[in-house]
Every structure is written in C-alpha cells, then in structure tokens.
Structure 1
Amino acid sequence: MTVFSSKYTIELWTRAGTLLADLGTKPRNRVLVQSRNEPDDLSFDMDLVEFERYCDRAGVDPKELLIVNSVEVRIKRHRKYLSGGQLVYRNVSITANENTLTCRVFGFLQLFAKRYTGESTAGLVSDVYSTSDGTADLSRKDLAWALINQSQNLANGSFGITIGPNQAGNTTTYQKNYSRTNIKDALQGLTTVEAGAIDIEFTHDKKFNTYDYMGSDRPDIVFEYPGNITSIDVPEDGTDMTNEAIGIGRGAADGTQTIAVEADLASQAQYRLRQDTINSNGTDNSDGGITDDAKAEIQSASLPLRVPSLVVDGNFAPFVTDYGIGDRVRVKVSGYKLVDNINGMYRIERRTIRIDENDNEEVILEVSG
C-alpha cells in the first residue's frame, strides 16, 4: 500500500504481527494519552470516503482493516514507535455535510480487564501464591508474569503477549492470595503495594516489561515558563484526602470481614482526621493484602494532591521522543510568588499528545513531585 509523508505514522496490524496498512496522512484529530501503569489511549478520525477509496485502490475490504477487538494499531513519530494497542471502537458518522470514521485504541494492559483469576470452563488462573498453601511465594515481577501467562494459557486465551527484555524488580518473594480478581486490577495492584512495588509496561509490539522504577532522572530535559511551556496549572486539591484508611476484606466463608486500619498521624495533626473505607480483594489478610491496600491509600492520599499540568509546544525540543513516562524532568516557573516553590524535578505521570492536520503537536504533561 502507498505510504504518505507525515511526521506521524499510524499502522494497522493483525494479531499475528502482519502489517495490514500504513494510514499515512489520512488520520486527523490524533490524540495519544499515556499514563504510568495505565493502558495507553489513542483516538483519531478519518474521512470515510477517502478511506474507502484507499481500500478500493488496494483491493481490500475496509471492514477487514478495522475489525474491533482484533486489529491492532501502532503509532510512531518518524522512526520511533510511541504506542500500540487494540482497536476497541469504531464509529461511522454520515451526514449531509461530512462522512467521518472515528477509531479508538486501548493499550494491551486493557485486554486483561476482561480476565479473572480462579477456575472457569476455559481453565485455571491460580488464586493462591503461598508456600504455606502448597504453591509458592513469588516476587512482584514474577507474579505479574504468572498472572499474564496463565491467563494466556486459557482456552482461546492468547493475546500474543510475550515477556520483554526489561524484567527489573525486587526479587523478594511475597505471599499473595486472590479471590476471583480482575487481572488488570491485580497487575495494577502490584504497582501500588507498600513493599516491593513495581512499574509495568506493555510495548507497542506486545512485550511485557517490569521496572523497579520506570524512567530516569533527566535534568537535561527542561520545561520553562516563560519559554517552551505555553500554559501551566498548579492545583492543590484536598477534596479526596484520606489520613486514616480502613481496609475491608471481601469476607470469609462465615460471612465475616477482616479489617485493617492504616493512618498518617502527621497528616492528622495538620489537617485533622479524614477517614475513608477501602474495599480490598483480600479475604483474611493472611497475605497482608488488606493491609497493603490500606497503606497504598495512605501513601497516595494523606496529603493534598498536587499534580501540576503543563501545556508544552511539542514542535520544539525537547520532542516527545526525547523523554518518556516515568522520567524526572526539570520544571521552572518565574514571576509568580504563589507558585515559586514549584521549581524542581518532577516525574512525568501522564502525557497527552494532540496532533493537528499539519502535524503540529500540543503536549499536556501531568507530573508529580
């Protein structure tokens, strides 16, 4: 198929890894959202008539190029892939003035939102990882791959995810018990536990990587206002602050529920007591799962949330291929006393890349201290 010139390329692939089409300059309103330990989210539009003409010239049925929950999509900037995932939604809108095809793609982590631990007619994904129960304690990274691998070994269960070259993570082993737990939730839970937390990544070509800490310190990457930052928001949000978390287990066979409470006393002294209940997948807390969930809530919510949001002109360096999710970059703001304490190194937690029809890039960065 014909390849058109564009800074960005969106490609369609089969599950088996065969390139179906390079969409060239046809996609418009391209938006890519990437967040640490979350599925990527890519959306774009095309002119329906132009797309169908393209398929006619190639001798391809357009329905075969856009099979929802089957066809995979990759996006790259020049020669570097930024993301990949599966087409989950398409919509054809036909009006008197315009005919539009809209597509949405989720990263491969989202595939496991419809998979569960436990036994079914498709097979078994173990709920129990405990030497005392006759199985084995596992490290966080090994448990993550065990969940993925067992799920893919179910009948009709393979997504083609393979283990990637980056398998960093603490080798300390832990006991972990699940109870008909959503596997996407279980994977993300391993990124928020107090002890041995990891970062996870699914690459554009379906490799699964784990990290002690995704990203690296990048003091050479500088975002500055006035400068390459076109606008900045610096919220300080206390609406959902919690400094006493009451973890509640799913319940034992006799109907009782185990409770585990965690508190941040320094936060309570400054902001007064602020409680919340946390529903846990744990049962009797024998593996510390309910406690871990309560501790994770305290770690993330015991202080007012401060997540600066930067809007950056992506047409100038540093470009989106120069840095990635998890990197710690330098942010500078001058001229305003209320936010003059913002200057410093921040971790990129989320970025939204908006690409217009002329390949101009607006990049929204959400960062944490």
Structure 2
Amino acid sequence: MTVDRPNDVVVLLFSGRGDEEDGRRFLVTSAQEYIPSDPDLVDFSDIGRRLRDPLGHRFDLSEVASIFHDHWLLSIYDTQFARPVLSRRRDVILEKQLYSAYPLTSANAAQTQRESSVVPANLLTQRQVHLWVDGRITQAMTTRQTCGPGVEVAAVASPLAAGILRALDRFKGGTYREFMQTLQADDCARSDRLPGSLVMQGDVDLPMFASGDGARFVQYFKSGQARRAAALRAASLVADDMLARYTEPEMVLTGLALDLANAHFSNGSPHLPGLPIKDWQAQAKSRLLQVTQLEQSLKPIFWETRSRISAEAGELEQAREILRNAPPSILSQRHLAELLVEFAERSLRAQPLEILAKVDDKLKDPGSMRFDEFRIASRRLQTLIRAEQARLSEGYSIQE
C-alpha cells in the first residue's frame, strides 16, 4: 500500500491470542507475559493486573480500523476475545485467548450461537471489511485440523483458518457477504472447535477484493438494484403527476408507498445516485397530511405506512407506539401484530424488558385474543422476552 497506489486492497490476518475488557476488544502480541509469582502482586484478584508488557502491545480493533482509515482493507481476526470458561473439556488451554490458562467458572459463561451476523459500515469502517468470531476458537494440538467425520483434514491448527481456506477454494466470486455465507456452511467453521457465531462488519456488499471509485457500482448493476431504482423513481414521477390532478385517498396512499420504497432503497445504498433518504422521508410525511376520509378497507394500509415511515427514519420507538395504539381490528390485518413485535425487537434500548412487556400487554388485550394472528405474534414475543432475559451483553461492533 503506497500513496501512488491508493486502490490496493490490504489483507490483514491476525492469528494469535485476543482479549476483551470494558467492552473493547484487543489483539495481543506474543511479547505479553503473565507473572504468577510476583510477590508485589500476589494480592491482586484481577489477573489482568499481573501482566507485564514492556515490549508488546494490545491493539484495539478500533485502532486497527483507524490506522487503515480511507484504505481498502480486508481484516481477519483468527483469535478469541471472550474469556475461556472452565468445563470438562481438556483443551481449554488451546483456546486462542490471553487467559486460556485461567478460565472463568461456568456460571459466568456467555451464551453464543452459530448464526452469522453483519454489522453495517460506519464512518470508521468504510472501504473496510472486518471478520471475527463471537465465541470460542479452540485450535488443534497439531497442524492437522479434523473438522468432522468424513471431512478432509486441513493442514492448519485453527478451525477458522481451515474454514476460510476451504471456503476460498469453493467460492466462485461475489460479495464479502456471500463469502461469509459460504464460510458459514463449511464443516470446519461449524465444528465443535468453533461453536460461536461469525461476525462481519464494514462494506460487506462490495465484490470481494474490489476497490476503486466504481467498486460499489459493480454489485449495484449486477444485482439488479439499478433496474429496481430506476423503476421506483419512474413510478414516483408518474404518481406525482397523477396526484396533481387526483387527490383520492387511494392515490395518496400509492404515492406514500412509493416514497417509502424509495426511502428504504436510499437507506440501504446511501452512496448511490438519487435523492437522499431524508428527502423521501420528508415527502412521505407531507403526504400523510393529505390522507382524509379513509374507507375501512384502507385503514390497515394507512396504519402500516405511518409506522414504516417512522421506522425508516430511525424512529423505531415511535413506529412501535403507532402500532401499539392501533385498534385490535386493525392489528389483526396485514400481519401488523407481527410487525409490532418486530419494531419492539429493533427498538430495545435501556429498558428492553419494559418495552417488551408493554407490547405483551397489547397482544393480551381481551379484544385481541379473538384473532389467530395475535396468538402467533404473542408466541414470538415470548421467545424475545426469554432471549432478552438471558442476554448477557450487547453485540460488539468496531466504533470510533
């Protein structure tokens, strides 16, 4: 990577031990040293205070992203950030974490799942893609990784490295997101040595290893997004022309739906040409004021559109409250009860259980239980409440 070659893609692979402290994640160099017998430190209960680091450093992932700011980067962290947990397994010492010799008790274990997840790019991670594992990574004792019965043995000790190498052999081209899906399906990435979830943050919809000013447009045209964007904008122009002559509620709702679709498209692709999302949102909100004297059959559409406009603007709590105040006869149509639960899930903040309880009360309203849709939504909500009660920490993302 040089000044005269700004479009080079930097590939950074860290394979070693990691650490997590106060919500921050670190890459730990081999120079870090543990001191179990220092008499001046024997009374400290925090093992972290027994570390002497005269030469090595712990690099915060945010620091790594900052160093490569405005550069094209693929960074893979083959390390374990979560503290090891004592169990009947004899290979805890092989976990790729700084404190693998000093695991926590099982009572403090964080729950992990195998589902992969994507964290959108922010100002710090634009042009970058970072890949890591939330959970445990246990390397093999030798450089022969057995990923399962009948699976070809990989000549590396790390299950993540083995999965990446095997996925690259099978990957036929596409975006970083599509590569992660290939990796997620690999037997090594799904082995007992890697029970956590894959996480990818950054410009994940860029073609893999693509760079340059036009990199984002490759997938834009290849995926058909360009065609859909042109169709939406053409339909919006037609709707504007019709609304200049006809003001019936059906026409206004049509214009509202098109504004909402354009806002959603702009929100997902802010770097692409067209009106910014705030312009579409402002136009949609102004159209809401034009809707009057709705027929009963159109009211569920109106309530849904109102709530979705708020959600698209990032006002998820307002979107949730709009549907929570809707009559049961409205919520029973167009899957609006399920949409209410979805907004509740996305709007969890400082008092998540209180928010879920409010939605639960709404779904248990005596006038609601006549509808099968409410019972389906209520079952999903109970699953959310149980998951939230068991949740130990928020998902990590690289921030400034």
Structure-1-length-normalised TM-score: 0.23
The structure that is helix-richer by fraction is 2
Larger of the two Rg values belongs to structure: 2
